[in-house]
C-alpha cells in the first residue's frame, strides 16, 4: 500500500511543455523504422505461438514487451494505431481529446460522477495524449510497494534516457515558480525528477525541439526478431478454445471478450492459454502460449481495460457477471473495485502577458499557459485550429460562458450559438462546430493567460468499474466518488488557498490584470464548462463548493486490479495460472505528482524481473 502524507503535507507542481513540433514522421515511415510493427490484417499466420502475449501497447505494455523481447518471443497486441502526426505537436495537444470518432486515439467516456474523461486507444497509450509531465514516485511509495529500490532506480534511468528532457522555463512559469516560493512552498529544489518537498522544475517527455516522445519509443530498444506488434486487432467474439488444459483466452486491448472453458479435472486453477483476435478484415487469428509454466499472458490494458477484460473473461464478482450472462470462471469480488481518479480543479488567469512544488497540504498544483495547453494564441493558428484546448466546446461539456477582464473582447462571444443556453439534447455536433467557428473569430487576447491546476494526493475516495454490457468495445461504467472522503476535500481546499496566495503574490503581479480580483477570477473559473454537474451559482461560493462544482480529471485514474486484492506482489492474478496484470490498475494510490513515470518504470521493472525468473532454476 502506498504511504499517505500527513494531513499537514501538500504538494504543488508547475512544469513546462516543449515547443511546437513542425514536422512529424508519417505512419509509413514509422512502420519502415519498426519492421516488427504491422497492422493486424497484414499478419499472415492464423495460428502462432509465443512465450509472452502482452495485451495493451500502452504506457506499461510497451516497455514491458520491449524488455521481454530481449531473450524471449513476444506478441504485443494494441487496439489502436501509431502515435504520430498531430499527437506529436504541442499546438495540437488537445485535438485527440476533441476527436470523438471511432478512429480517435482517445476514447471518451463520462464517469457516473458526471466528469468527462478519456482512455487511450493508440500505441504508446496515455503518453501520447497527456501533458508530458514527468516525475518519479517518492522513496516512501517505493518502499511501501515492496519494490527493489536499486532495480527501481535503474528502471527509471532506462526510461529517462529514452524519453525525458529538461524543460525550458518561460516567463509565465518562472513567475509561477517564484510565486510558489513566495507563498511558502519551499525550498527551491531547482530541476529534479525526484519527489521532494518544496518547489521544483520537473521533467517533460517533450524534447527541446518540441517533439513528444511516447512509450512507443521504447519499442526501438526491442530485439526485432523477438517482438511482433499488431495494431488494430479486434475481438473475435465468444469463442471457446478446446484443450485438455483449462483455458482463459483473451483478445486484444479494447476487444476483450469472454473465452473460457471449464477447469480441467485435476487442475487446481484455470490456466491462461492464449488469445483470439480478429483483424480489421474480420479474419480470426488464434495465438497460443508455448508449452511451459513460465510462458504467460500479461494484461497491460490500463485501469479501465484490465478489470473489464477480466470480468468479460469470467473473472470477477459472481453476481455481477451472472447479471450480464457471463459464465463465471473465478468468483473474484475485488475485480473492478478500488478505482480512483485524482480530482483536479483549475483556475484560469487572464493575463496581459503572452514547475513543481511540494508544500504541506496534500495537493499538487500544475501550471500551464497559452498554447502549452493546446490553446492557439496566434492569428494563423487560431484560424486553422481544430480545437481550443481547455476552452474547447469539443473537449469539455458544452456549457461555455464568455468571461475575461477585457469584456469588450468577448461580449458577443457565441451570440445566438451560446452553447450554455442550449438544452443538452440540442448540443449537437453541428452546434459544437458553430461554437468553434465563433471562437476562431475572437481577438487573440481573449485566449491569453494561463491555467493553474490543483490535483490532490492519493486520493482516499475510491469507486468501482462495472460492465455496461458484454460488448467488449463499449466503455464500462466507472464511478470515482470524487471527494466522498472529507480528507480529500480538505486537501483540495488547502490547494485552492495556495493558488489564491500565488495569484496575490508580488512575483505574479505582472501576469494578472489590475482590475481582476481573486474573487472574480475564481467566480469566472467556476462557470467554466469542465463537467456535467449542476452549478451552484452564487457570490458566496465556499472553497469546498468550488472544489465540488469544478472537479475534473487529469487522467490519473488507477486501481481495479490492486495488489493484494486481485494480484499478488508479483502481479499474478489470484486464482488463474499463467496470467498477470502489470499497469496502473494495480495501484492503490497514484504515485508522485504524475504517474506516467512510474507506470513506464513498472513495465521495465517487471520485464527485468520476469526475465530473471524465467532463467532461474
- Report the pLDDT averaged over residues 171-179: 86
Rounded to 5 degrees, what are φ and ψ at 382? -70, -35
Q: Which of 233-247, 391-405, 486-500 has the highest mean pLDDT?
A: 486-500
Question: Pick the catalytic residue: 92, 195, 556, 558?
Answer: 556
With a CB cutoff of 8 Å and minimum separation 6, the contacts of 469 are 324
DSSP assignment of 392-432 equals -TTTS-S------SSHHHHSSTTGGG-GGGS-GGG--HHHH
- Report the pLDDT averaged over residues 140-148: 97
Range of weakest confidence among 97-111, 282-296, 396-410: 396-410
The one-character DSSP state at 504 is T
pLDDT for 538 equals: 64
Instruction: Quick: pLDDT tens for 490-513.
Output: 999 999 999 999 999 999 888 888
pLDDT for 404 equals: 40
Across 270-381, where does the E strand assignment appear? 272-278, 284-289, 296-299, 315-316, 330-331, 337-339, 344-350, 356-358, 363-369
Q: Please indicate whether residue 357 or residue 207 has the higher confidence score (pLDDT).
A: 207
What the block records as the C-alpha cell of 602 is 513498472
With a CB cutoff of 8 Å and minimum separation 6, the contacts of 381 are 91, 371
Residues of the chain with CATH 3.30.410: 343-396+417-456+483-550
pLDDT at 602 over 60: yes
pLDDT tier, 477 (very low <50, low <70, confident <90, very high otherwise): very high
pLDDT for 440 equals: 55
What the block records as the C-alpha cell of 399 is 456549457
Residue 464 catalytic?
Answer: no
pLDDT for 429 equals: 55
pLDDT at 231 over 90: yes
Which residues are known binding-site members for FAD?
Answer: 122, 555-556, 595-596
What the block records as the C-alpha cell of 301 is 490494458
What is the edge-to-edge ordering of all strands in the sheet holding 449-456?
344-350, 449-456, 363-369
- Report the pLDDT averaged over residues 360-388: 50
pLDDT at 16 over 50: no
CA–CA gap between residue 603 and residue 300 (Å, rounded): 9
pLDDT at 255 over 50: no
pLDDT tier, 98 (very low <50, low <70, confident <90, very high otherwise): confident
CA–CA gap between residue 187 and residue 284 (Å, rounded): 58
pLDDT tier, 306 (very low <50, low <70, confident <90, very high otherwise): very high
pLDDT for 210 equals: 79
Instruction: Check: CB of residue 77 under 8 Å from CB of residue 275.
Output: yes
Which residue shows C-alpha cell 494561463? 450
In the three-class reduction of DSSP (H, G, I as helix; E, B as strand; rest coil), residue 271 is classed as strand
pLDDT for 300 equals: 95
Range of weakest confidence among 12-16, 210-214, 363-367: 12-16
Q: Give the residues across from 165 on adjacent strands.
A: 204
In the three-class reduction of DSSP (H, G, I as helix; E, B as strand; rest coil), residue 205 is classed as coil
What the block records as the C-alpha cell of 99 is 476527436
Range of weakest confidence among 101-115, 508-522, 532-546: 532-546
pLDDT for 441 equals: 55
Instruction: Indicate the pairing of strand 133-134 with strand 203-204.
Output: antiparallel
Across 240-353, where does the E strand assignment appear? 248-250, 272-278, 284-289, 296-299, 315-316, 330-331, 337-339, 344-350
pLDDT at 156 over 50: yes
Nearest alpha-carbon partner for 476 in 314, 311, 340: 311
Of the chain, the percentage scoring pLDDT greater than 70 comes to: 70
pLDDT for 209 equals: 80
Instruction: Check: CB of residue 373 under 8 Å from CB of residue 390.
Output: yes
What the block records as the C-alpha cell of 296 is 504467460
Nearest alpha-carbon partner for 54 in 41, 40, 67: 67
Instruction: Indicate the pairing of strand 74-78 with strand 227-231.
Output: parallel
Question: In terms of CATH, what superfamily is 39-166+204-244+264-333+560-616?
Answer: FAD/NAD(P)-binding domain (3.50.50.60)
In the three-class reduction of DSSP (H, G, I as helix; E, B as strand; rest coil), residue 163 is classed as helix
pLDDT at 309 over 60: yes
Q: Encode 439-449: b = buried (16+ Cβ within 10 Å), e = exposed.
A: beebeebbbbb
pLDDT for 36 equals: 93
What the block records as the C-alpha cell of 179 is 510565486
- Report the pLDDT averaged over residues 145-160: 98
In the three-class reduction of DSSP (H, G, I as helix; E, B as strand; rest coil), residue 186 is classed as coil
Residues of the chain with CATH 3.50.50.60: 39-166+204-244+264-333+560-616
pLDDT at 428 over 60: no
pLDDT for 445 equals: 54
What the block records as the C-alpha cell of 537 is 451559482
pLDDT at 299 over 90: yes
CA–CA gap between residue 122 and residue 211 (Å, rounded): 17
With a CB cutoff of 8 Å and minimum separation 6, the contacts of 443 are 409, 410
Q: Please indicate whether residue 531 or residue 151 has the higher confidence score (pLDDT).
A: 151
Range of weakest confidence among 182-191, 237-246, 424-433: 237-246
The angle at the Cα of 38, spanning 128 to 20, to the nearest 5 degrees, equals: 30
Q: Which of 198-202, 337-341, 419-423 has the highest mean pLDDT?
A: 337-341
pLDDT for 383 equals: 44
- Report the pLDDT averaged over residues 335-362: 75
pLDDT at 326 over 80: yes
Range of weakest confidence among 162-166, 264-268, 292-296, 364-368: 264-268
Instruction: Quick: pLDDT tens for 550-559.
Output: 999 989 999 9
pLDDT for 289 equals: 92
Range of weakest confidence among 272-286, 301-315, 443-457: 443-457
- Report the pLDDT averaged over residues 527-545: 76
CATH topology of domain 343-396+417-456+483-550: Cholesterol Oxidase; domain 2 (3.30.410)
Residue 124: CB atoms within 10 A of its CB come to: 28
Q: What is the chain's alpha carbon radius of gyration, rounded to the nearest angstrom?
A: 24
What number of CA atoms fall less than 13 Å from residue 140's CA on the CB side? 11
Instruction: Check: CB of residue 77 under 8 Å from CB of residue 56.
Output: yes
pLDDT for 363 equals: 67
- Report the pLDDT averaged over residues 559-566: 98
Given phi > 0 = left and psi -120 to 50 = alpha, else beta, which region is 305? alpha
pLDDT at 207 over 60: yes
pLDDT for 318 equals: 97
Q: Encode 52-71: b = buried (16+ Cβ within 10 Å), e = exposed.
A: bbbbbbbbbbbbbbbbbbee
Amino acid at each position: 500500500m502506498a504511504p499517505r502524507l500527513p494531513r499537514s503535507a501538500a504538494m504543488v507542481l508547475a512544469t513546462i511543455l516543449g515547443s511546437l513540433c513542425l514536422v512529424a514522421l508519417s505512419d509509413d515511415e514509422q512502420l519502415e523504422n519498426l519492421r516488427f510493427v504491422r497492422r493486424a490484417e497484414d499478419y499472415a499466420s492464423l495460428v502462432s505461438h509465443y512465450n509472452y502475449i502482452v495485451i495493451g501497447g500502452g504506457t506499461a505494455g510497451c516497455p514491458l514487451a520491449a524488455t521481454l523481447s530481449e531473450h524471449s518471443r513476444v506478441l504485443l497486441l494494441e487496439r489502436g494505431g501509431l502515435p504520430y502526426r498531430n499527437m506529436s505537436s504541442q499546438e495540437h495537444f488537445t485535438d485527440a481529446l476533441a476527436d470523438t470518432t471511432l478512429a480517435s486515439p482517445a476514447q471518451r467516456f463520462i464517469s457516473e460522477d458526471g466528469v468527462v474523461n478519456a482512455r487511450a486507444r493508440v500505441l504508446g497509450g496515455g503518453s501520447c495524449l497527456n501533458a508530458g509531465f514527468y516525475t518519479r514516485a517518492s522513496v516512501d511509495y517505493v518502499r511501501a510497494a515492496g519494490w527493489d529500490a536499486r532495480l527501481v532506480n535503474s528502471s527509471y534511468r532506462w526510461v529517462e534516457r529514452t524519453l525525458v528532457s529538461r524543460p525550458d522555463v518561460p516567463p509565465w512559469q518562472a513567475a509561477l515558480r517564484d510565486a510558489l516560493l513566495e507563498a511558502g512552498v519551499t525550498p527551491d529544489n531547482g530541476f529534479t525528477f525526484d519527489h521532494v518537498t518544496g518547489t521544483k522544475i520537473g521533467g517533460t517527455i517533450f524534447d527541446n525541439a518540441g517533439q513528444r516522445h511516447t512509450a512507443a519509443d521504447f519499442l526501438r530498444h526491442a530485439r526485432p526478431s523477438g517482438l511482433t506488434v499488431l495494431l488494430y486487432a479486434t475481438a473475435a467474439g465468444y469463442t471457446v478454445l478446446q484443450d485438455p488444459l483449462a483455458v482463459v483466452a483473451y483478445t486484444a486491448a479494447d476487444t476483450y471478450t469472454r473465452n473460457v472453458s471449464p477447469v480441467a479435472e485435476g487442475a487446481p486453477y484455470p490456466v491462461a492459454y492464449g488469445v483470439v483476435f480478429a483483424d480489421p478484415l474480420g479474419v480470426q487469428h488464434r495465438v497460443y502460449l508455448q508449452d511451459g509454466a513460465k510462458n504467460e499472458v500479461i494484461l497491460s490494458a490500463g485501469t479501465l481495460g484490465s478489470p473489464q477484460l477480466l470480468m468479460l473473461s469470467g473473472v470477477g464478482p459472481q453476481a455481477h457477471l451472472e447479471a450480464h450472462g457471463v459464465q463465471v470462471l473465478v468468483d473474484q469480488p475485488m475485480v473492478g473495485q478500488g478505482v480512483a481518479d485524482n480530482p483536479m480543479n483549475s483556475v484560469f488567469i487572464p493575463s496581459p502577458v503572452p514547475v513543481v512544488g511540494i508544500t504541506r497540504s496534500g495537493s499538487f498544483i500544475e501550471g500551464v499557459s497559452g498554447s502549452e495547453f493546446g490553446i492557439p494564441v496566434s492569428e494563423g493558428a487560431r484560424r486553422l485550429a481544430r480545437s481550443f484546448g481547455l476552452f474547447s466546446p469539443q473537449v469539455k461539456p458544452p456549457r461555455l460562458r464568455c468571461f475575461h477582464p477585457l469584456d469588450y473582447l468577448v461580449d458577443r462571444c457565441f451570440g445566438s450559438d451560446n452553447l450554455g443556453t442550449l438544452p443538452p439534447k440540442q448540443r449537437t455536433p453541428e452546434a459544437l462546430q458553430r461554437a468553434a467557428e465563433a471562437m476562431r473569430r475572437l481577438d487573440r487576447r481573449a485566449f491569453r493567460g494561463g491555467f493553474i491546476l490543483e490535483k490532490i494526493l492519493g486520493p482516499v475516495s475510491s469507486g468501482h468499474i462495472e460492465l455496461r454490457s458484454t460488448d467488449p468495445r463499449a466503455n464500462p461504467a466507472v464511478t470515482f466518488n470524487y471527494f466522498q472522503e472529507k480528507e480529500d476535500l480538505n486537501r483540495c481546499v488547502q490547494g485552492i488557498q495556495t493558488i489564491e496566495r500565488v495569484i496575490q503574490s508580488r512575483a505574479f503581479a505582472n501576469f494578472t490584470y489590475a482590475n481582476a480580483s481573486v474573487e472574480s477570477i475564481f467566480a469566472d473559473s467556476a462557470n467554466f464548462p469542465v463537467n456535467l454537474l449542476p452549478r451552484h451559482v452564487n457570490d458566496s461560493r465556499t472553497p469546498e463548493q468550488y472544489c465540488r462544482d469544478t472537479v475534473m480529471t487529469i487522467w490519473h485514474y488507477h486501481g481495479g486490479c490492486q495488489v493484494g486484492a486481485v494480484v499478488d506482489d508479483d502481479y499474478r492474478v489470484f486464482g488463474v495460472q499463467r496470467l498477470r496484470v502489470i499497469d496502473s490498475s494495480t495501484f492503490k494510490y497514484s504515485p508522485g505528482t504524475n504517474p506516467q513515470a512510474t507506470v513506464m518504470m513498472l513495465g521495465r521493472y517487471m520485464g527485468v524481473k520476469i526475465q530473471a525468473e524465467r532463467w532461474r532454476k
